[in-house]
Amino acid sequence: MTTDLATCPNCNAALSSALLNQPDFAPCPSCGKPVQVEVFPALFQPVRPGQTGEQLLIETEASCFYHPQKRAVLPCDGCGRFLCALCDCELAGQHLCPTCLETGKRKGKLKNLQNQRTLYDGIALGLAAFPLIIPFFTIITAPMALFVALRHWKSPGSLVRRSKVRFVVAIVLALAQLIGWGVLAFYLITEMRRNG
Amino acid sequence: MAERDYQRLTRARTRRTGMRAAFATRSSLWLGTDHLLCVDSTGYSETYRRFYFRDIQTITLIASKRRATWNWVLGVAMGFCLIWCANYFFRSADFQLGDSIFVSGVVSAFALPLLINNLLGPTCVCHVRTAVQVEELPSLCRVRRTRKVLDRLRPLIVAAQGQLTPEEIERKLAEPLSEPPVIVRNSASQMAKPPQPYQGPFHHALCWLLIADLPLTALALAMKPGAMDTISVIQFALTVVFAIVCLAKQHDTDLSPELRRLPWLVLGISAVFLFAGIIYAGIYSATHSGAGRDELAPQNNPVMLVMAAASTCVSLVLGVTGLFGLRRFRLARGGAAAPPPALPNKG
C-alpha cells in the first residue's frame, strides 16, 4: 500500500512534479532507476462518496422496488423496476438493478463484467494435436477433440479472437486420426481373415 | 459493447508471476472503445482485466536490464559456438558445403535471437495505476513499443479525463491529501504479502557444491579417463537439484537480490555448458567415425579440457561469491535484528 500520489515504481519514493509527464526517462531521486511517469487528472480526483438514496417524503411518490422507504430515481434498464440512488448500478451507459447485474454476470450477458472465458477451441486443438507425439493415445483423444469441437462450436470463445480456425483444424485432425484408426482396423481384420 | 471492437495493441508476452505462470500464462493488450483490456491467456482459458480510460491515474515505465541479461546469455552461448566452429573449421581437412550450412545453423540459433533482442530496443517494466490497483502490463516490455502504445492511449485518456498542465500538477501535488488513497499492488514484484525471513542451509550447500567442482575436476584430470564420471554426474545433478530447491526456498523471502540471482546463474551456466558439451560430442562423433568415449575425455580432447576448465572456474567464482554474499547477508540481518546496546549503568 502507498499513500503518496506519484511514486517511483521501484522504491515507492514520492516523485516531484518535475519528473512527471516527461518525454523520456529521468532518474528517480531516491533509487536512481530511470523512470518515466505519465500522470492523468484521475490521480487528483477525490473518491466520490456513495449514494444512499433519498427518504420518501410523500406517500404518492414512486418508491424503490428494493427499498420501499426510499424515493425512486430511475427504472432499471434490464427489468424496468424502479430504483433508488443506492440500487442504481451504472455499467457501460446502462442503469441496472443489483439482481439484473448478478443475472447478467451469471449468464454472460454483460460482457463488460466477464473476467474469464474458457477457450474450447484451444482445448479441442490441444486434444487433437498434442497426442500426435504418442499416437496410441489418439484413439481416445480424437473422439474427445471431435466432441468438444462440435459441442462447443457455438459457445462463446475469446473476447478478442473471433476466428473458428482452431475448431476447424481440430475437427480435421481428429477426423484424420479416426480415419487412420479405421484403416488400421480394417487392414488388421483383413490380414487376420486371410491368415485363417 | 460489440465484441469486435477490440484492436490488438501488443503481441502476447509471458507474465512473470511464479514458475508455473511464467511458462503457462501469456499476456496481451487490446484497445476497446472506452477501456484498455489486458488478456492473460493459458491457451485453454483467458482472464480479462479492464482499465477504463476515465479511471487510469498514472502509467509508469521503469527501465529494466532484461535486454542486457539476454545479451550476456546469448552472447556467451554464441561465443562457445564460434570457438567450437573455429576449432572444427581449422581441424577438418575437407570442409564441405553441408558442414558450413550446419555450422551456420548452429551459430544462427544464438545469433538470430541476439540480433532480434537488440533490434527490439531497450527493455522496461510498465505499470498502470487506477484508484484501487497497480497492475503490471507484461506485454509492454520494450521501451519503443511502450511509447508507441502510450502515444495511442494518451489522446483517449485525455478525451475521457481532460488535460493536466505542468502548473496544475505542481499545484495539486503541493495540496495536502484529505484522504490517503489505498492502493493494492497486483504486480508480481510488488505483492502486498510481506517477505519472510530467509532461513535454511540450501544456498550454503549450493555454494559448497560449486566449490567442490574444483577438487573433483582436478581429481578427474589426474586419474585415467572415465574413472570419476559417476561422481562428476552426481555432483552436477546435486548442483542442479539444489539450485532448484534454492529457487523454491527463496520465494517471498528477504534474501538479497545478489543471492537470489545465484541459483538462476547456476542453472543458466549449467545449461549452457551441458548444451555446448552435448553439441560438441554429437558433432565430434559424427565427424570422427569410430571415435571412442575416451577421445572426448578432457585428458585427450583440448576443447573438452577448455570447457571443463571454464566450467570449474565459473563454479568456483560463483561459489566463493555466494559464500561471501551469504556471510554479508547474515551479518547485515544479525545487525539489524540485534537488540539495541544496553545503556551504561551510571548508578
The CA distances from residue A184 to A137, A170, A172, A191, in Å, are 15, 21, 18, 10
Mean pLDDT, chain B, whole residue set = 81
Give the three-state DSSP class for A39: strand
Residue B37 grid cell: 483490456
- Cβ distance A117 to B45 less than 8 Å, yes or no, reads yes
Tens digits of residue pLDDT in B149-203: 999 999 999 999 888 888 888 888 777 655 555 555 554 444 445 677 887 788 8
Write the residue in B37, B44, B150 that is nearest to A119 by C-beta: B44
Q: B74 with B117: CB under 8 angstroms?
A: yes
Q: Contacts of residue B129 in chain A, CB cutoff 8 Å? A: 43
The CA distances from residue B175 to A5, A14, A28, A193, B172, in Å, are 11, 14, 22, 93, 5
Mutation to test the B interface, candidates A36, A45, A91, A121, most B Cβ within 10 Å: A36
pLDDT value at residue B192 = 45
Whether B57 has its CB under 8 Å from any CB of chain A: the answer is: yes
Over the range A129-153, which residues count as b (16 or more CB within 10 Å of their CB) and which as e? bebeeeeeebeebbebbbebbeebe
Residue B281, pLDDT above cutoff 60: yes
Q: Contacts of residue B62 in chain A, CB cutoff 8 Å? A: 8-10, 33-36
pLDDT tier, A17 (very low <50, low <70, confident <90, very high otherwise): confident
Q: B48 with A116: CB under 8 angstroms?
A: yes
How many Cβ contacts (< 8 angstroms) between chains A and B? 135
DSSP structure class, residue A70: B
Residue ranges with strand state E in B144-300: 184-185
pLDDT value at residue B88 = 73
How close B136 comes to chain A (CA, Å)?
10
Whether A17 has its CB under 8 Å from any CB of chain B: the answer is: yes
Separation of alpha carbons A137 and A116, rounded Å: 30
Residue A149, pLDDT above cutoff 90: yes
Length of chain A: 196
pLDDT value at residue B149 = 94
Q: B68 with B59: CB under 8 angstroms?
A: no
Q: Exposed (0-12), middle (13-18) or buried (19+): which is A37, by Cβ within 10 Å? A: buried
pTM exceeds 0.80 for this model: no
Whether A50 has its CB under 8 Å from any CB of chain B: the answer is: no
Residue ranges with strand state E in B33-75: 35-41, 45-52, 58-63
Residue A36, pLDDT above cutoff 50: yes
pLDDT tier, A113 (very low <50, low <70, confident <90, very high otherwise): confident
Q: Which of B310, B49, B42, B323 is nearest to B209 (CA)?
A: B323
Whether A136 has its CB under 8 Å from any CB of chain B: the answer is: no
Mean pLDDT, chain A, whole residue set = 86
Domain ranges (residues) in chain A: 1-39, 49-113, 120-195
